[in-house]
Amino acid sequence: MHPLPAGMRDLLPAEAREQSELSRCLMETFALHGYEQVMLPMFEYGAVLERGLGALVDEELLRFIEPETGSVVVLRPDMTAQIARIMGTRLADAPGPARLSYQGNIVRRQHERARHERQIPQAGIELVGQGGVGADLEVLEVAVAAVRRAGLEDFTLDLGHAGIAAALLDELEPDARTPIVEALSVRDVTELTRRAEAQGLRGAELRALTELPTLHGSSGVWAAAERALGSTKARAGLEELRALAEALERAELAPRLVIDLAETRDLAYYTGPVFQIHAAGPGRSIAAGGRYDGLCARFGRSRPAAGFAFGLDELSWALTVAGRPRRRAARVLVFGEDSAVLAGLRACRVDCAACPGGDPLAYARAWRYTHVVEITLTTATLVRVEDQERQALPRDARALGAAVAALLERAGSTE
């Protein structure tokens, strides 16, 4: 009857609460590591985003004309470029490194056949003004800490380096690289060889490029990678990646670490180590990021930078598949309206509302209340909606609030 624009969606109370709690969990983890939240506008001038992201692909974006100026405005497809903008303007004089976090929706059309959402909730961090393996390691440590605090222990960290393939293609014009990168991204060695030769690639760079799809796995990949890349421009990227991987292994940061030297994710954007975190369920990464040392320079001041973003939908999916109990905050419905009881509960930080009448359990189930407090002239009873277990409460409003809060804190509430 009333359709939403393509790719948009509503979140009803249960979904909204779950996403809010997951986002809060991630943001608290970021704060524990020193990252301060910034809030960014939903849309930017197209020219500003193009400065940060390069040419914008029309079919991925939603654009409109700003009536006041006649300028093209774009609903943000990425928040990292916005961070680079504020670092080059309002925070231009701030000493580095800057540790910033963010959360919100981006708007971008998905390419996968089964994924039609344009409204994509994210939460992430950016470390701006510090480079090298130490900065990359810090970013990965924060990402893994956030995954674990969210409740996911079984995941894979996939590590690559954008500079490896880029170095092998360095002598080619940007337009000539595109078809080669496309073949590399799907690991089609025959087509990769044909396209690279057609663009004039020869010698050690060609041999190394065609071996990249095979350089994938655990720490045993380094010997083969050294043979393939040791005499090419990609050697520096390989050494940097190996140093980071070995630091990760010493720290025992992830249950599984996979090295992928054929990683091609957005070579025009990333310049150094890149990573993705995978888990059972979503079929794509739950978090992704890496180093992008060239981005801030596009907004007036060159600074090294690295960061990542979680896809909240993907993380939630992975947590569901992993069987993590969903925490459900207690919500109390008061039957037999008593304003003093409601005030007493709220004073004890218990979410509550008055029952409008009728069947209190039916109303509580419909609106996801976890408990009902039944009030009469002489008694008060706490009823758990799930199984209708009953517990007597003190009738005094203030004592009742404290008693309910204590019972809920001891018992918790999961579904």
Q: What CATH number is attached to the domain comprising 392?
A: 3.40.50.800
247 and 140 within one domain: yes
- pLDDT recorded at residue 267: 58
300 and 388 within one domain: no
Structural domains counted in the chain: 2
370 and 303 within one domain: no
Beta pairing partners, 414: 327
- pLDDT recorded at residue 54: 64
pLDDT greater than 60 at residue 42? yes
Tell me the three-class secondary structure of the chain, residue by residue: CCCCCCCCCCCCHHHHHHHHHHHHHHHHHHHHCCCEECCCCCEEEHHHHHHHHCCCCHHHCCEEECCCCCCEEEECCCCHHHHHHHHHCCCCCCCCCEEEEEEEEEECCCCCCCCCCCEEEEEEEEEECCCHHHHHHHHHHHHHHHHHHHCCCCCEEEEEEHHHHHHHCCCCCHHHHHHHHHHHHCCCHHHHHHHHHHCCCCHHHHHHHHHHHHCEECCCHHHHHHHHHCCCCCHHHHHHHHHHHHHHHHHCCCCEEEEECCCCCCCCCCCCEEEEEECCCCCCCCEEEEECCCCHHHHCCCCCEEEEEEEHHHHHHHHHHCCCCCECCCEEEEECCCHHHHHHHHHCCCEEEECCCCCHHHHHHHCCCCEEEEECCCCEEEEECCCCCEEEECCCHHHHHHHHHHHHHHHCCEC
| Digit-coded pLDDT (tens) for 186-197 | 899 999 999 999
308 and 372 within one domain: no
- pLDDT recorded at residue 317: 95
338 and 228 within one domain: no
b/e code 253-263 from CB counts within 10 Å (16+ = b): bbeebbbbbbb
CA atoms within 13 A on the CB side of 122: 27
pLDDT greater than 70 at residue 412? no
| Digit-coded pLDDT (tens) for 333-345 | 999 867 899 999 9
Average pLDDT value for residue range 391-397: 92
pLDDT greater than 80 at residue 306? yes
pLDDT greater than 70 at residue 29? yes
338 and 281 within one domain: no
Backbone φ and ψ of 385, nearest 5°: -65, -35
4 in a structural domain? no
- pLDDT recorded at residue 415: 41
- pLDDT recorded at residue 413: 47
365 and 315 within one domain: no
What is the pTM assigned to this prediction? 0.89
Domain boundary among 293, 321, 349: 321
313 and 336 within one domain: no
Beta pairing partners, 275: 159, 289
Residue 311 maps to which CATH number?
3.30.930.10
414 in a structural domain? no
What distances in angstroms separate CA 384 from CA 66, 215, 341, 360, 412, one per listed residue? Answer: 53, 56, 17, 12, 12
297 in a structural domain? yes
pLDDT band at residue 319 using 50, 70 and 90 as cut-offs: very high
284 and 150 within one domain: yes
84 and 163 within one domain: yes
pLDDT greater than 60 at residue 115? no
* Domain span holding position 73: 13-321
| Digit-coded pLDDT (tens) for 81-114 | 999 999 999 999 999 899 999 999 998 776 555 5
Average pLDDT value for residue range 194-218: 92
Return the closest-CA partner of residue 379 out of 338, 318, 331, 333: 338
Domain boundary among 321, 349, 382: 321
266 and 153 within one domain: yes
Q: Please give the Cα distance from 342 to 334 (Å, whole number).
A: 7
- pLDDT recorded at residue 411: 74
Most confident of 41-55, 76-90, 126-140, 395-409: 126-140
Domain boundary among 300, 321, 342: 321
- pLDDT recorded at residue 56: 56
- Looking at every residue in the chain, the average pLDDT score rounds to 90
368 and 310 within one domain: no
